[in-house]
Every structure is written in structure tokens, then in C-alpha cells.
Amino acid sequence: MTFPQKAFRPLLWLLPLGFLAVFYFYPLGNILGLSLGEGGLGAALSDVLGRASLRGVLGFTIWQALLSTLLTLVVGLPTAYLLARYRFPGKGLLRAVSGIPFVLPTLVVAAAFSALLGPRGWFNLGLMALFNLSSPPLNFVNTFAAILVAHVFYNTTIVIRMVGDFWARLNPRIEQAARALGASPGQTFRRVTLPLLAPALAAASLLVFIFDFTSFGVILVLGGPQFATLEVEIYYQTISLFNLPTAAVLSLLQLACTLGLTLLYARLSARLSRPIEVAAPERSARPLRGTARWLAGAWLAALMIFFALPLFGLAARSVTRLDAERQQRSAVETGLTLDYYAALGDNPESSIFFAPPLEAIGNSLGYASATVLLALTIGLPAAWLLARRSEALSSRVLDPLLMLPLGTSAVTLGLGFLITLDQPPLDLRASPLLVPLAHSLVALPFVVRSLAPALRSIRPRLRQAAAVLGAAPAEVLRHVDLPLVGRALLVSAVFAFTISLGEFGATALIARPEHPTIPVLIFRLLGRPGALNYGQALALSTILMSVAGAGMLAIERLRFAEVGEF
Amino acid sequence: MLTLLNVSKRYGDFALQDISFEVAAGQTVALLGPSGSGKSTLLNLVAGLEPPDSGQILWNGTDVAGLPPHQRHFGLMFQDFALFPHRDVSGNVAFGLEMQDWPKAELAARVAEMLELVGLPDFARRPVDRLSGGEQQRVALARALAPRPRLLMLDEPFGALDRGLRERLLADLAAILEASGQTSLYVTHDQEEAFAIADRIVLLRAGRVAQIGAPEELYRQPASEFVARFLGLDNIFSATALQEDGRTFLDTPFGRYASPDQAARGAVRVLFRPDAVEWGHAAEATLKGVLRQRQFRGNTVWAEVEVQGQRMRFEFASRAPLPALGQPVELSFDPREALQILHEDGHQHQQV
């Protein structure tokens, strides 16, 4: 009765498990082997941690992540409170706008901040023109502050959504009861609200910390050479120093940290689903009044500007000539231009390492399409196995296995590919499949998580109804299952496509120099002098931003009418 | 004609045991029983959604065991309707026809005909999630009927609907089944529904057949205390059957009456039919008690009378004047008509 037939079942298991074995566990095993070296793990670790510079890297990784998380909470918590407890116009817009940065590729965000606050950005060129300065007055790029600001920009939405939604569901009567029992507003917050919020707060903070801990593109581009996190150091050790054993040990360290943190996060977020005293969000929200109204208004407006300005700045800068590159710096020639887009076909450096941007766009589209195919081919059977509730084994074994790539940093995945797939039997160095394989690994958790609920939502009744109406098993699949999961298939395809387009960490290590993807080329162009290079980087970033934004918008839209609703 | 021969199916600690009955061509048979009696499981076996552990399911004398559900040409209308959410009303009705590769024109005509039949001629292009419960039910019926199934099975088709709607649709459904000469198997837990629609009733209890018969037969001659109580006949008490002068009498807590069954002996359970008494002492046997409660039911009045510490419910025409509550009353009846000895049903006494 149920498709697929029994004979196909082992094949269903084989695809996802085989894929993970060859392209996840085998590379990781090689990293482990490489880092063991001659002296074993202890010797390797003590060697790496014995070097002051690498100790510094580990310390900085933790320090910047802690500080970024703290700042994100400082910005996110008041906003979460306002969104949870008050009604005001533009609430939905703020929620949406705060979520945009989260879905953007890191290189786009880096380019956006560069276009706004960098030496060739709006602020500096504007100030130079206004005050007749000969050098950019604002020093933002290549500072610690740039890293922190970009991280806050990225992750505030996590706090707003996780804590805010949880907060909105807290019954306000509990707080009112505390007040009636004589607690001051401050005491009520400390003794009642905060303890109730604690699980959501902890989960959100941990998630933000994980993202900051593994941050790569932002630190590489905005932080500059003097700042290195573990992730960036692995990249340098691999690309610049060819010190693969050290890179491997660092990867192992990184892997241990992220997997541990991810496990902790899974624990915490599982606790969030536990029911608490809840109220309908509608009932607990009230309008803002008096002075609070103006304060809150100013705060929210500032926040809107913070989220939207870099993105507008990027798009606007990509079509604006701000010609301060010449000798007479005070006279900035300005004007609208499409030159940077028109020049996307040119190779600015005429070196083979600088493919023309159009070629990078072509590469990226090709890789992304291949990623969609690969990720769906592997994700569909996996989701099917997960969706069948009867098979407890599948959910207990397969589910965590499939989530592993999510808890592994992209650069680690890239390094694993680099040291594993360069020799027989798996010499994929020259294969155009190498990049899509890595991207599929990153996209797989998202694909499976989108497909499994949709597959699960098809009630067996519908299949039975089709069967008694004369539909053979294959026809049931075609007329019932496929149409019903069609939307989810589309969502996963868009996920895989968008993730592939924006992926930078793994791609930076494994993409062949003459076949760069969009993010890789943006990275290279941003590091070059010259107005055209810069303009091309911004134009590429703007295109990538639009595609990623459109993709995520499509996913939100498609998800609204999810099959499981009725 | 559908024939079930000693069909059994075990399901965890529940078991359908030795089910045998027939559904003759053009007949509607109701599978009646409380929830958990195995009705829906039996339906799944007939539909081929699950195989029986043993026994045979025959159509016109041929075993259908080897046929998967899509080749049985049995229609099944689900309790939750199971309409395809991705197809509109006509898309749902057309599904079975598409599976039989009906030509386009005939298919469209048949869909229109079916929608006409169930009273939804203008609903063809509606999405199914915009339909009310009653409309969904009609679409599900049209979908099940459209491919002209050899047998139509309906699984609690009105379970999800409110009472008024249920009664209207029930009358419509009975008319539709009658008009189309459809052989059907109707599952319900509601005896009124079964009485209204079925030619014959198969009453199930805990996976076994408790009684099979026409609705009047079941109501007039309940085979056991379980059947009687399930059908709402609750005036049941213990008595002793004894012989005197060659005739059999029943010694009841409230008097000695002629036994309706001359063969009865010893301890028996006796049903007092609620509709076989009159006020006063007109007939040969009488009964004295106190009126405790009354319920106006339109044409009839239900009166609860306490007799020797036991409460019994009787039904009277509402035209007759009713004594005041708490008053002693006298009831008369013909014991051969009003009293009925119930057979052992082999199970523990069970309040339904």
C-alpha cells in the first residue's frame, strides 16, 4: 500500500547515509588523522595551544563572540519587550526588516557596511566633501567596532524573535499579580519576568554566540588582517601558509566547540517547547502612551535606520559615482551611473584569478542549480524516512546525523574537502561538482527540515481515499503526494539555491581560483584598489542581496499556506 | 453481493472474531455498535486497506483477498471526508473517474450529474477548504458515488455534523441510495441513524456479532440484554420463571405475571417494553408505582415510574392526561406483549 515498495527501502537509507559518510565523516576523519600527526592528539593540541599567537586567536574568538552577544542583547531585549507588550503601527514591518540581515550572505553585509562607513563609503566621502578633508575622517573598516556592529546587525533578529515571541506569550496577569502583591516594576521584572524568560533568553543568547563564534566573512572583510578568529585562522593557515596540520588541529578545536554548543542549544530549545502559562499575544499587547511613546518611537526609528540604511547604502552606492579617487579630493564628482553594472563583463585585472563578474555569476548559478538537484536527491529520501513516524529508529539516528553539518563550521567543511577529495579514489579537485557537494552538505539540514513536516502532514486517509477510488500506488504518489509536497519541495529548492549562492566559508577554500563564485569574487574585488573594482564588488553584492532577499521572501510566502494547516 | 465468512482480525488487545454476514445487491446494511466494537476495522478489511487474519471476503462468490484496494471498485466515504485539499470540488469528484480513464466529456457530465444529485450544482470550482461541514460531506458522497462503485461503504458519514443537519442529510442520503439502487455498507454508532437508513443491521459488540436483522426485528426481538440496552430499552429486571398448573409464570419484584415464553425456567432477565402500557387498570395485568419524572417529547411523553424501588421508563401518547409528580399511579398491560425474556449474551452485564 505505501510507496515506496519494500525493495527500495535500503536505497532510501543508502543515499543520505552514503552521502554523509563520504562527504562529511570521511573528510572529518581525515582532519582528525592529519591533526594527530606523529605525536597524537595531545601533542598536536599542546603544540598549537603552546603558540602564543594561536592562544590569542582562541581567546579573541571567545572574547569577540561574548561581547557581540552582549551587545546584541542590549539592542534586542528592549525591542523584544516593545514588540511583545505593545501595539504600535509598523510592528510587522520592523519584525520583517530586522530579519533581512539574517538571511543575507556575509559578503553582502560586509560590502554594505563598507559602502556606508568604509573609506570609500557614503559617510567618509560626504564628510570629506563637506569639510574639504584629504583623507577619510571615519575609521570604521578594519576595526574591532566594525566586527561588533556587523554581528549586532546580523543577529538582533534572533533575540527579537525568540525572546520576543516567548515574552508575548507570557500571561501579563502573572506580572500584575506580582504588582498587586507589592512588587515594584523593577522587582517584578527581576523576580518574576526574568526567571520566566530565562529559557528563551538562554537559548537565544547561545544561538547568537554560536553564530558569532563561527563568524568568518564579516571578520575577514570588515575586521582586516589584525583580527583573526579560529575560523579565519584556519583559512589563513590553509590558504596563505599551507600549514595543513595546524589548520586541522584548529578545525578540530572549532568542531569540538561548535558541536558542543549546538548540542547545548538543542537541549535548551527543546525546553522552550514546554508549555508555560500562556496568553494570546493579542490580549497582552497594549498601545503605547505618553513619554514612553516618544522614547519607544525614537528607539524603534533608530533601529529601523540601523537595519535598513546599510542595505540602501549598498544599493545606492552601486549606482552612484563618488569620484574622490583623483588628485583634487575636495571636489567630489557625484552622479548616478550604471557603469559598474555595465562593467560586470570586464575582467579588471586581466589575470586569470580575476574572472569577469559575469562569469562568476554564471558559475554561481550553475553551482546553485547543481546544489538544488543534489540536495533534493539526497534530502527527499531522508525526509521520507524521517516522516514515517512508525520507524522510531530513523528519527533517533538519522535526524541528529543530518543536523551535524549545521553544527560544523563552513571553513572546517571546506578544509575537509580540500585534504580529502584531492586524491584517488575521490579526486574531485578539478570536478565542477566539488563546490555543489559542499553546498549540498550545508543546505541538507534546511532541505530535510522543510520537507519532512510536509511529508508527515499528508494524512494516510488521503492516500487511502485515493486508493479506494481506484488509484494504484504510483498514481497515489503522482496525484496526492507530489501535489501536496510540491510547495515544500519548492521551499527546499529555494533554500538550497539561496544558500549555495551566498555560501562563502567553504567556497573560499575549495573554489578554483579561475572559477570564483559571486561571494568569492566580491571578497577579492573589495580587497583591491580602484573605483571600478569597488563598483563591481558593490554591484555584485547588490545583485546577490536582491536574489537572497527575493528567495527568502518566496520561502516566507510559500510557507504561509503550508499543507499541514488543515 | 458482499459476503463475509468468519472474518477475524487481531489488533493489539482488540480482536474482530468470526464475523459473517451478507449484503445483498441493492441493500443497505448498517454496521452498528458502540465505539471500539470494531466497525471501522471491519470496513478497512472490506476496503482492502488491511488484510484479515483469517476468513474470507467474497464479492458475488469470488474471494477479493488478492485485490488491492484500487482494484476492488468499492467506494469508501471516510468519517473525516479526506477530501483532497489540492483539488477543488469537481477535481475531487472527478478523481475516481480519472483513475478509470473516463473520456473528458463523459467525465464532466458525470461530475455535473453527481453534484446535482447531492445538491451542489454550483460548487464545481470551489476550493474544498471553503466548504461547510455539510457541504464537505456531500462532496465526499459525490466523490464516492461517481465511479459507480460495486459497493459503497460509509464510515460514520454524519459523525462530524450537528444534529439538525444530520437528520436532513440522512433523509437525503437514504433517498439517494434508494434511487441509485446502490449496494452499501453503513457504519454508525447511532441506532437512530441505523434504523433510518438500513434494510438490515449488523450489531457488533467488542469485535463479535451481537445480532443481525431488520431494524424492526432488532427492536422487537432484541437477542440479548446488551442489544436491548444499546437500542435504548432499559427497563430490565431479574425474575424467576416457574410452572403452575402446566402454565409458566414470571415471579417479578412487583408481581406475578403470565410468561411470554412457556419454555422459560429458573432465573431470567426480563425486558419490560416501554411502549406497551396504559394508564389505569383496563387490561388483565396491572402495576402500581409512583410517578417520579416526566419528559415531554412532542408526540409522546416519557414518564419515569418508581416500582418497588426500581425506576422504569414508559412511553405514552402525549394526548393522554398525565398524573402529577409524586402521585401513586396504576399502569395496565398485556404481559405477553409487554414482557420479554432476554437471552444470555455470553458477556458480562454492561451498561451502554
User: Taking a contact as any Cβ pair under 8 Å apart, which residues of chain A between 166 and 225 contact chain B?
Assistant: none
Alpha-carbon distance of A515 to A520, in angstroms, equals 9
Whether B352 is covered by a domain: the verdict is no
Residue A530 vs residues A357, A437, A488, A533, B97: alpha-carbon distances, Å: 15, 35, 45, 6, 69
- The 3-state DSSP class for residue B331 equals strand
Chain A residue nearest residue B71, CA to CA: A470
B245 and B181 in a single domain? The answer is no
Q: Is A369 helix (H, G, I), strand (E, B) or coil?
A: helix
Specify if A542 maps to a domain: yes
Boundary-marking domain end, from B200, B229, B258 = B229
Question: What SS3 class is residue B19?
Answer: strand
* Shared domain check, B156 and B50: yes
What domain count does chain B have?
2
User: Is position B240 within any domain?
Assistant: yes
- DSSP structure class, residue A25: I
User: Is residue B225 domain-shared with residue B309, that is, in the same domain?
Assistant: no
In this structure, the answer to whether residues B132 and B181 fall within a common structural domain is yes
| Cβ atoms of A167 and A200 closer than 8 Å | yes
Reading the block at residue A266, the C-alpha cell is 538543542
CB contact under 8 A, B82 and A472: no
Asked whether residue A550 is assigned to any structural domain, the reply reads yes
- Domain boundary, last residue among B173, B196, B229: B229
In a domain, B309, yes or no: yes
Domain of residue B60, residue span? 2-229
Check if A560 contacts B (Cβ < 8 Å).
Answer: no
A39 occurs within a structural domain? no
CB contact under 8 A, B49 and A1: yes
Dihedral angle sign, alpha carbons of residues A99, A104, A109, A112: negative
Residue A42 lies in a domain: no
Q: Is the minimum CB–CB distance between A243 and chain B shorter than 8 Å? A: no
CB–CB of A447/A383 below 8 Å?
A: yes
Q: Do A470 and B147 touch (CB under 8 A)?
A: yes
* CA–CA separation, A157 and A204 (whole Å): 10
User: B91 and B157 in one domain?
Assistant: yes
Give B128→chain A minimum CA distance, Å. 11
Confidence at residue A334, expressed as pLDDT on a 0 to 100 scale:
66
Residues B214 and B321 in one domain: no
Q: What are the residues facing B204 on neighbouring strands?
A: B209
Q: Within chain B, which residues score under 50 in pLDDT?
A: 346-352
CA–CA separation, A164 and A170 (whole Å): 10
Cβ atoms of B110 and B146 within 8 Å: the answer is yes
Q: Is residue B209 part of a domain?
A: yes
Is residue B347 a part of any domain in this protein?
no
Distance CA A433, CA A427 (A): 11
Question: Is B247 part of a structural domain of the chain?
Answer: yes
Which residue in chain B is spatially nearest to A464 when comparing CA positions?
A: B49
Q: What is the CATH number of the domain that holds B188?
A: 3.40.50.300
Q: Which CATH number does the domain housing residue B328 bear?
A: 2.40.50.100
User: Domain end: B170, B203, B229, which one?
Assistant: B229
pLDDT tens string, chain A, 566 residues long: the values are 344 455 667 777 888 889 999 899 999 888 888 887 767 777 777 777 778 888 888 999 999 999 999 999 999 999 999 988 888 888 888 888 888 888 889 899 999 998 888 888 888 888 887 888 777 888 888 889 999 999 999 999 889 988 988 888 877 767 777 777 767 788 778 877 888 888 889 989 998 999 999 889 889 888 888 888 999 999 988 888 888 888 888 888 888 888 888 888 878 877 765 545 455 555 567 777 778 888 888 999 999 999 999 999 888 888 887 665 444 444 455 677 777 787 777 765 666 556 788 888 999 999 999 999 999 999 988 888 887 755 566 667 777 788 788 878 888 899 988 888 877 777 777 788 889 999 999 999 889 888 887 887 777 888 888 998 989 888 888 888 888 888 888 888 988 999 999 999 899 888 888 888 999 988 988 888 777 788 888 889 999 999 888 888 887 777 654 433 22
Cβ-based contacts of A468 with chain B (< 8 Å): 47-49, 69-70, 72, 74-76
Task: Check whether residue B149 and residue B214 sit in a common domain.
Answer: yes
B327 with B257, same domain? yes
In a domain, A40, yes or no: no
pLDDT confidence of residue A172: 72
pLDDT score for A348: 59
Q: How many domains does chain A have?
A: 1
Contacts of B133 in chain A (CB under 8 A): none
Chain A residues touching residue B71 (CB < 8 angstroms)? 470
Q: Say what the pLDDT of residue A391 is.
A: 56
Q: Does A462 touch chain B (CB under 8 A)?
A: yes
* Chain A contact probe: residue of B41, B43, B72, B84 with most A CBs at under 10 A: B84
Assigned domain for B350 exists:
no
Q: Which residue in A has a C-alpha nearest to residue B140's C-alpha?
A: A465
Residue B100 located in a structural domain: yes
Instruction: Say how many residues make up chain A.
Output: 566
pLDDT at B90: 94
CATH number of the domain that residue A429 is part of: 1.10.3720.10
Q: Domain range spanning residue A287?
A: 10-28+47-565
Task: Report whether A409 contacts A509 (CB < 8 A).
Answer: no
Q: With 0-12 CB in 10 A as exposed, 13-18 as middle and 19+ as buried, what is B52?
A: buried
Give, as one character, the DSSP assignment of residue A429. T
**Quick one: B117 and B184 in the same domain?**
yes
Say whether both B30 and B107 belong to one domain. yes
- Whether residue A444 is contained in a domain is answered as yes
HSE-up (13 A, CA, CB side) for residue B294: 18
Sheet holding B208-213, edge to edge: B74-77, B151-155, B184-188, B28-32, B200-205, B208-213
Instruction: Say whether A467 and B69 touch across the interface (CB within 8 A).
Output: yes
Instruction: Check residue B278 and give its pLDDT.
Output: 82
**Together in a domain, B74 and B155:** yes
- Residue A44's CB is within 10 A of a number of other CB atoms, namely 20
Same domain, B272 and B199: no
